[in-house]
Amino acid sequence: DEQVKTMISITPSEVDESHFLFFVTKDGLVKRTGLPEFENIRQSGKLALTLREGDELVDVKLTNGKSEILLAAANGKAIRFDENDVRPMGRSASGVKGMNVDDSHIIGVTTNTEGQNILIITEKGYGKMSPLEEYRLSKRGGKGVKTVNITEKNGELVSIKAVEGNEDLMIITNEGIIIRLPMEQVKSAGRATQGVRLIKVGEGASVSSITVVDKESEEEMTEE
């Protein structure tokens, strides 16, 4: 019942005391561990996090000791805090509370080093971008602020990513449908709005994954 959750590419120069792996679980626990702890990993793997019963890993981010963390829950709320609110811990630790999910669950994590606009996507294909500054910097452990107005029309929040706003967005549904669109087509709107439809999903279907990629040039599109 185990599956891969994320893959991170690092360079040898990043394996030092100033870089960390930042772990986030479904129940809102977070943990920060220095990269040198993972310098030598045998083929069978190495324990990176002790999970509490019923909890599971959602994602892991590479941070630089100065990063700001944004966690988002399915209930449409998000919290932004400094990574230094979480003290460095050993590999066997289970972490501390990053967000009070309030009977919901964490769906994603992003950092300010990835972009200055926050992109959110809901399960029924609605999305929007909001400036990072709209999310006030607070302390870890809170319930967060509303990042999208959840309604029956747009569904629960399924993804959050920090972007620059000049990339392309790929959206994939659980039925295997994928679309690619320029980020300029994603409306910029305030936190408390529901967003606009980016992809039409059939009854019973939902958005399962999104990926932000470099913008496709006209020449590349012509070649296809």
pLDDT tens string 123-172: 999 999 999 999 999 999 999 999 998 999 999 999 999 999 999 999 99
Query: What average pLDDT does this structure show over 209-221?
Result: 74
pLDDT score of 217 more than 80:
no
List, for residues 27-67, the tens digit of each pLDDT value: 999 999 999 999 888 888 889 999 999 999 999 999 999 99
Helix (H, G, I), strand (E, B) or coil at 113: helix
Is residue 137 within 8 A of residue 144, CB to CB? The reply is no
Q: CATH number of the domain at 12-223, please?
A: 2.120.10.90
Share of the chain above pLDDT 70, in %: 96
Q: Residue 8 is which amino acid?
A: I
